[in-house]
Chains A and B, each alone.
Chain A
């Protein structure tokens, strides 16, 4: 009888293999339907009129001209006169019309008057920020930092930072909402939370939570920005109601997507670190600030990973700005604090004239419980990038204008399983279905469900039908925090195990055996190790009679199938043209621990994707705010720059697997490899050109400015 544990390595049929994602064919064929693609009969198109001002009070709204535009079916004021607007792009009026052209014409016909108020949209220059916009947190001290710095042989101080970036989901936020009768809503959202978003909408609409039916087959990117129904979701349903229940499609335009649909907070930091001349790290002091719009972003975990530095002093300030609100962004806060920590330590190792790899390993015990993992990963990554052969002391990047350098970083993440229910049904004809109210963000969730069920039931992959993306399926958690794979694989393993055990009990008498003497392998039920005493899966299922067997599996539940806490190491090899400041990635390697890997192919894609996103925010992307107008200057994909296929260099991924890793069970992977790229690339650039480019993204202007600070490497061309 199967137990609640993962099979041993030599028994795994599908688990851990390289399996192509099961929804791949429909995606490449253009058949996969995202919310944006849903066309419903009689569907109207929604548009939102937004504030042009970053801080203003609405004094009047006149929608009469908009209402007269032919084809307009609903006009709704979202925020009325008297409301104080806190960021440009905030929603004021919603409109639905029979086609997009009419909706757009109507949106432009709305007349809104404002009383403008002073705004603050940038926080780069700390000295120019009024006190009223600063929210400090209490100073935190460990040990005796003053004494430690006075006794340090080597001290370095640096300023580091990363600009605000957006999620820039390719499928913008939005949904289609329709009232199927006067009490029920059908919602096609683009969401990371199929099971909860309907309840959120129902609450806003004051209808019972069960009256919102949510359906979503595919989502075009979320990265932490799509957990909520959002105001535009509620207003979409309101427009539908005003229009007699007709379906309304309301998807954010790209400029709104980049202005109001979520950002990752910036970070700025002054960091001082000290060490003994033998390289022993002794002291940390940091003052950090940043902005995520009007809200805060929690206490930053600094020093990152190196929590065991014996003496620390930490200050943090949140700057309130009149900018679009922050949302969770893939590993919230971690990439920023990783940058400021690993960059400061890299600068310290350079000052000590130590190879940072040696410096990191010498002090690795200060990273705590995962020290051994980090050390193994660093050594593996060093092998992959030929660190010892290619590394040179800082600034000795070669003759000529193109300088080459290496950099490294380590990171951690939790990734424990979220709560998840799974229904597994075995039909008398042998068909198997997995049903779950989860979502596949492109991480491979469907594929994982199929692998786990097929593995457990001893079936080929295509014998399992996976049904997700519907809030009438068993409840499963939001896809955030890298919690999905652990949660959904655990509940599916339990459901599959219980279902199999019930089936084995049914067929045991026919095989003259006890249920716990049976196994499911190769599409058969048989006595363990004896293929002569068995029957086909179909024959076994026929014993169910006329009723299918459905079993609910849960996470949390018995047995440990998933856990939490991973480490990773990344190393980058870059070239910098010191005449132009243009940085190119030559090679970028990642070594990652994520417990038991269920599908190596899609897992690898997660890591590649995280590294590429890292290249984007390290070299190219930043939200640019205009001080005077208070608006985003680059709410488009032309100047909100992402890396292209020729911009990311050669990439390699290695998973830490086998004893000590697999036996921890499944751990989430989506976020951790996104944490280190900024630090690894920043350190590589510093190694190449001999000076720190303090702020990401490392654009030519910033690289040349750093070189000029160093003493004019770029003074001559």
Chain B
């Protein structure tokens, strides 16, 4: 880890003023579960670290008639222990429960989950977000891409977005609250993430001097929802593929559907084709499978990860069936 100066502001105004105008000069510290590893591996070498945990306004989980507010500093434990989340937003609850380490659940925050960096092993070894060697050769397409993207990698970013919460938030049409020098703004969860075009960019729609302050999830309004993750181990492990689904149901009939996949693309992947395939139909094993087929119809697996197409299909199917109950 490179030396840095440390500052712990108490308001978001102070925090934002302490950030830089270029990525990488200053990093934001919340739970620390990702940032410390990134710094230890010299993937990021900030000169200043701004700890957000002193900002009380960023904490808390609150449920009301208008919906759910997750403070950016709410920990996974805070989310899991909230009975309203479990009752109304099982898609969120299951995504958080899938982080099977109590230590990570105690430390990890909502904002950190959204802004954590990719786990791509080439990126983590220092070859950059786009994973190129010194000759500019892209390492992922003909390298070991067993855990890489099967969708959305046209831009040259092959990593998968690692967020646990994002697919659920997208399925539930959540908004992400952001604060910066120009004040507060909100971004649809579905628009928050992006595939970077270069190593100096980030995977989310923030300016270097903006921070995530909160996540706002609309009232469930009868939307049945679920998350299904395909994970190999019970021990702390990344899902190989995951899907979150929210359905407006009349009996078994789908009036509206929002479906998002995790760990399959550089961004959490909204599966519009699967939604269309499901709307107007009754949820059955067959219609769920057909929606899953539609979700992955455009998949372009790399040399070693065709199996992830199958896993993603299973995740979509099982999430639909779980949501319908």
Given a CB threshold of 8 Å, the question of whether A touches B is answered with yes
| Chain A residues within 8 Å of B, Cβ to Cβ | 101, 104-105, 108, 579-582, 619-620, 624, 626-629, 631, 633-634, 636, 638-639, 641-647, 699-701, 704-705, 714, 716-717
The reply to whether A579 and B314 form a contact with Cβ atoms under 8 Å apart is yes
Bound-state Cα–Cα, A628 to B137, Å: 10
Bound-state Cα–Cα, A625 to B231, Å: 23
Q: Residue on A with the closest CB to B41?
A: A255
The yes or no answer to B233 lying at the interface (CB within 8 A) is yes
Q: Residue on A with the closest CB to B296?
A: A717
Q: Tell me whether chain A's interface is mostly helix, strand or loop, or mixed.
A: loop
The yes or no answer to B144 lying at the interface (CB within 8 A) is yes
The reply to whether B304 and A701 form a contact with Cβ atoms under 8 Å apart is yes
Known: A620-B232, A633-B121, A646-B233. 17 other contacts (CB 8 A): A579-B314, A582-B230, A582-B232, A620-B233, A626-B139, A628-B133, A639-B119, A641-B237, A642-B235, A644-B236, A645-B235, A646-B100, A646-B234, A700-B232, A700-B240, A704-B307, A717-B314
Q: Residue on A with the closest CB to B3?
A: A101
Can you name 18 A-B residue pairings with CB atoms under 8 Å? Answer: A580-B310, A626-B139, A627-B143, A627-B144, A629-B127, A629-B133, A633-B122, A633-B144, A634-B121, A641-B235, A645-B235, A646-B100, A646-B234, A647-B233, A700-B230, A700-B311, A701-B146, A704-B310
The 10 closest A-B pairs by CB, nearest first: A644-B235, A646-B234, A701-B307, A633-B121, A704-B307, A579-B314, A717-B313, A580-B230, A647-B234, A647-B233
Per-residue interface assignment for chain B, residues 1 to 17, with 1 indicating a CB less than 8 Å from any chain A CB and 0 otherwise? 11100000000000000
Per-residue interface assignment for chain B, residues 94 to 133, with 1 indicating a CB less than 8 Å from any chain A CB and 0 otherwise? 0000001000000000000000000101101101000001
- The answer to whether residues A626 and B235 also contact, given A580-B314, A633-B125, A701-B304 and a CB cut-off of 8 A, is no
Min CB gap B295→A, angstroms: 11
Min CB gap B203→A, angstroms: 19
Q: Tell me whether chain B's interface is mostly helix, strand or loop, or mixed.
A: loop
Per-residue interface assignment for chain B, residues 221 to 247, with 1 indicating a CB less than 8 Å from any chain A CB and 0 otherwise? 000000000111111111010000000
Bound-state Cα–Cα, A2 to B3, Å: 67
Q: Residue on B with the closest CB to A104?
A: B1
Bound-state Cα–Cα, A638 to B124, Å: 12
| Chain B residues within 8 Å of A, Cβ to Cβ | 1-3, 42, 100, 119, 121-122, 124-125, 127, 133, 137, 139, 142-144, 146-147, 230-238, 240, 289, 292, 304-305, 307, 310-311, 313-314, 317
Bound-state Cα–Cα, A717 to B317, Å: 8
The reply to whether A628 and B139 form a contact with Cβ atoms under 8 Å apart is yes
Chain B residue numbers with a CB within 8 Å of A645 are 234-235
Bound-state Cα–Cα, A644 to B100, Å: 10
Chain B residue numbers with a CB within 8 Å of A633 are 121-122, 125, 144
Q: Residue on B with the closest CB to A635?
A: B125
Chain B residue numbers with a CB within 8 Å of A714 are 310
Of A641, A643, A699, A717, chain B has the most CB atoms within 10 Å of the CB of A717
Q: Residue on A with the closest CB to B304?
A: A701
Bound-state Cα–Cα, A716 to B314, Å: 10
Min CB gap B226→A, angstroms: 16
Bound-state Cα–Cα, A620 to B235, Å: 11
**Contacting residue for B139 out of A619, A629, A704, CB 8 A:** A629
Of B127, B144, B307, chain A has the most CB atoms within 10 Å of the CB of B307
Bound-state Cα–Cα, A580 to B305, Å: 13
Of A641, A647, A701, chain B has the most CB atoms within 10 Å of the CB of A701
The reply to whether A624 and B230 form a contact with Cβ atoms under 8 Å apart is no
Chain B residue numbers with a CB within 8 Å of A700 are 230, 232, 240, 307, 311
**Contacting residue for A699 out of B124, B232, B292, B313, CB 8 A:** B232
Of B3, B124, B133, B233, chain A has the most CB atoms within 10 Å of the CB of B233
Bound-state Cα–Cα, A69 to B151, Å: 47
